[in-house]
Homo-oligomer: A and B are copies of this chain.
Amino acid sequence: MQDHIVKIFDTTLRDGEQSPGAALTSSEKLEIAKMLARLGVDVIEAGFPAASPDDLEGVRRIALEVGNSNPDGRTPPVICGLARANKADIDAAWKAVQHAAHPRIHTFLATSPIHMEFKLKMDPEDVVEQVREMVSYAKTYCDDVEFSPEDAGRSDPQFLHLVLGEAIKAGATTINIPDTVGYTTPEEFGALISGIIANTPGIENVQVSVHCHDDLGLATANTLAGIQAGARQAEVTINGIGERAGNTSLEEIVMALRTRRQFYDLETNIDTTKITRASRMVSNYTGIQVQPNKAIVGANAFAHEAGIHQDGMLKHQDTYEIMQPDMIGLSHSKLVLGKHSGRHAFKSHLIEMGYELDQEELDKAFKRFKELADRKKSITEVDLEALISDQISQPIEIYSLDGLQVSSGTMGLPTATVRMIGPDDKMHVQAAIGTGPVDATFSAIDAVINAPNTLLEYSVNAITEGIDAIGEVSVRLEADNGSIPKRKSPQHSNFFQTRTFGGHGVDTDIIVASAKAYLSALNKLLIASGKYDHLKKKPKKSIPASTVHEPVNP
């Protein structure tokens, strides 16, 4: 074990994806996993395979496609699946991760008095016994087994030493200590880790890991305190997403260790110059925006220069800067392509940006790029990112948008007319009014697609480079009836997560982008209802808007 390396265990796709509204499609998960591999993450926790068959399939694809090679020629990352401490979950996890070159099963059981009494309804002795049995069971599949005592931050330290000792005896190779509810202070959490290292039999032969939550704003400090106490794996997410106030941010831990290397004397395997791109991808796909004043990856994190004119006086660079923007791969978005750029230039730019599309996807993307270039003179890297991430995040189209016409303003009633092609391959046209153009558009779509739902969130990504830029809209909704199969939540046995459906749309016209986003969420809802499984294999041909100009009656 290299003692000066802190391994980065990324759980964006598992704990991060549990954030309300972050639900990702399996293509989005795969793209994020590829990006995490390029970033140099040591372990990717790819999901909770027992949650649903879709979740299992998502983890399996990542194990196969990301867990066996790394584009940079490095060792491929470990692919990890989460499992509660029961056989069914462990079976599902193994089924999903076994195809990776380096698979890991991560199992957990709560050890705090409050969780054992009210959630598990188990005696401490039974908890010890179940940990012993289930770690051994996981070990029959896989050499690499991680065990976490859930809510360790509120557990009795002596009981923890006992449970963890048994887990190690049963074969656990990584022991992960979560502060599940984000309750501890750095002193407490550091002391907890020191105590575990000093008092747990066999701990010297395993990896010690820390997993913190940010409920009191202390996740980064707690994780660093755990590392100072001897932990050499940190469980983190991109942008710090996760349930409630989220998990520890990958970028904060990596850059704190990097910027303050003289203090911590530790390193990670992360290629920091890919941090900005990873942050943008996760924010685009999850629809969870990063606030401007977020450390490292916020839009203003390096921006104070912008407001200061130097008025001729040379300024020493380090006066107000402790990091240089290019360390995290931040470059000002610049004109990269124009109307006359050819397919070759387009393709090489995408490769440079880290997107490897197959021929069909590339053709589709190039066509959309040309349409955009007709409307907007200069296409920046941000525009390209929006375009590609939108394409990747689209589900199979049960209904597709064929035309939209909207009028609004202060003088009349906002009115929208939509024309859509349905699963019957027929055109459907409906008009509706609303309190605004987006409301009218959604009502018109609802008049065609009868899928009762509650809109939970509608958001427009901030535009920071001219109002003619591409607009990105995210929506999140929940089906109103009980027809959607539920998904299990790892922490809440006997509870289920309501399925929410996110949609994403881009266009220079934000009303059109809104329609696309809403339709994309509705298509996901329709697919999840199971009523359109026969369409899943057959990608719908969409009729290009430019070829259909005759009005069609509903």
Q: Beta-carbon contacts of A93-114 to B below 8 Å, as 1s and 0s?
A: 0000000000000000000001
Across the interface, do A20 and B306 meet the contact criterion of CB distance under 8 Å? yes
A158 at the interface (CB under 8 A from B): no
A458 at the interface (CB under 8 A from B): yes
Contacts of A318 in B (CB 8 A): 114
Task: Name the residue on B nearest A260 (C-beta).
Answer: B185
Across the interface, do B512 and A409 meet the contact criterion of CB distance under 8 Å? yes
Across the interface, do A409 and B511 meet the contact criterion of CB distance under 8 Å? yes
Number of copies: 2
Task: Name the residue on B nearest A512 (C-beta).
Answer: B410
| Residue from A214, A401, A404 with most neighbouring chain B CB atoms (10 Å) | A214
A403 at the interface (CB under 8 A from B): yes
Interchain CB contact (< 8 A) of A114 among B298, B316, B406: B316
Contacts of A486 in B (CB 8 A): 309
Across the interface, do B459 and A442 meet the contact criterion of CB distance under 8 Å? no
Across the interface, do B214 and A293 meet the contact criterion of CB distance under 8 Å? yes
Interface residues of A in 397-436 (CB under 8 A from B): 401, 403-412, 414, 416-417, 434-436
Chain B nearest CB from A360 CB (Å) reads: 23
Across the interface, do A438 and B467 meet the contact criterion of CB distance under 8 Å? yes
Q: Beta-carbon contacts of A304-326 to B below 8 Å, as 1s and 0s?
A: 10111111010110111111000
Task: Name the residue on B nearest A304 (C-beta).
Answer: B243
Contacts of A186 in B (CB 8 A): 186, 221, 225
Contacts of A89 in B (CB 8 A): none
Contacts of A408 in B (CB 8 A): 406, 437, 509, 511-512
Q: Beta-carbon contacts of A243-272 to B below 8 Å, as 1s and 0s?
A: 111100100100110011001100000000
A207 at the interface (CB under 8 A from B): no
A303 at the interface (CB under 8 A from B): yes
A215 at the interface (CB under 8 A from B): yes
A357 at the interface (CB under 8 A from B): no
* With A435-B509, A436-B507, A438-B510: A20-B300 Cβ-Cβ less than 8 Å: yes
In the bound complex, CA of A468 to CA of B433 (Å) = 11
Across the interface, do B311 and A494 meet the contact criterion of CB distance under 8 Å? yes
A497 at the interface (CB under 8 A from B): yes
Stretch from A37-45, A59-67, A125-133, A284-292 that touches the partner = A284-292
A368 at the interface (CB under 8 A from B): no
Contacts of A224 in B (CB 8 A): 185, 218
Across the interface, do A407 and B410 meet the contact criterion of CB distance under 8 Å? no
Interface residues of A in 39-86 (CB under 8 A from B): none
Across the interface, do B376 and A435 meet the contact criterion of CB distance under 8 Å? yes
| Residue from A218, A246, A293, A507 with most neighbouring chain B CB atoms (10 Å) | A293
Interface residues of A in 1-51 (CB under 8 A from B): 18-21
Chain B nearest CB from A25 CB (Å) reads: 18
A483 at the interface (CB under 8 A from B): no
In the bound complex, CA of A539 to CA of B391 (Å) = 50
| Residue from A291, A309, A323, A414 with most neighbouring chain B CB atoms (10 Å) | A291
Across the interface, do B263 and A185 meet the contact criterion of CB distance under 8 Å? yes
Interface residues in A, total, Cβ within 8 A? 125
Task: Name the residue on B nearest A247 (C-beta).
Answer: B293
Across the interface, do B414 and A409 meet the contact criterion of CB distance under 8 Å? no
Chain B nearest CB from A88 CB (Å) reads: 18
Across the interface, do B435 and A375 meet the contact criterion of CB distance under 8 Å? yes
Interchain CB contact (< 8 A) of A245 among B180, B185, B296, B315: B296
Contacts of A18 in B (CB 8 A): 307
In the bound complex, CA of A263 to CA of B409 (Å) = 57
Across the interface, do A467 and B455 meet the contact criterion of CB distance under 8 Å? yes
Q: Beta-carbon contacts of A441-476 to B below 8 Å, as 1s and 0s?
A: 010000000000011111110111011100100000
Contacts of A295 in B (CB 8 A): 182, 214-217, 245
A492 at the interface (CB under 8 A from B): yes
Task: Name the residue on B nearest A117 (C-beta).
Answer: B316
A194 at the interface (CB under 8 A from B): no
In the bound complex, CA of A220 to CA of B549 (Å) = 59
A385 at the interface (CB under 8 A from B): no
Across the interface, do A410 and B404 meet the contact criterion of CB distance under 8 Å? yes
Chain B nearest CB from A544 CB (Å) reads: 11
In the bound complex, CA of A401 to CA of B410 (Å) = 9
In the bound complex, CA of A318 to CA of B154 (Å) = 11
Contacts of A343 in B (CB 8 A): none
Across the interface, do B458 and A256 meet the contact criterion of CB distance under 8 Å? no
Contacts of A183 in B (CB 8 A): 259-260, 322
Chain B nearest CB from A289 CB (Å) reads: 6
**CB pairs A–B below 8 angstroms (16 shown):** A118-B319, A119-B315, A183-B259, A215-B323, A218-B224, A239-B291, A243-B300, A245-B293, A309-B486, A313-B494, A407-B407, A408-B511, A435-B508, A438-B471, A439-B468, A510-B510
Among all A-B residue pairs, the 8 with the closest Cβ atoms = A221-B221, A246-B293, A217-B252, A118-B316, A436-B509, A459-B462, A435-B508, A460-B460
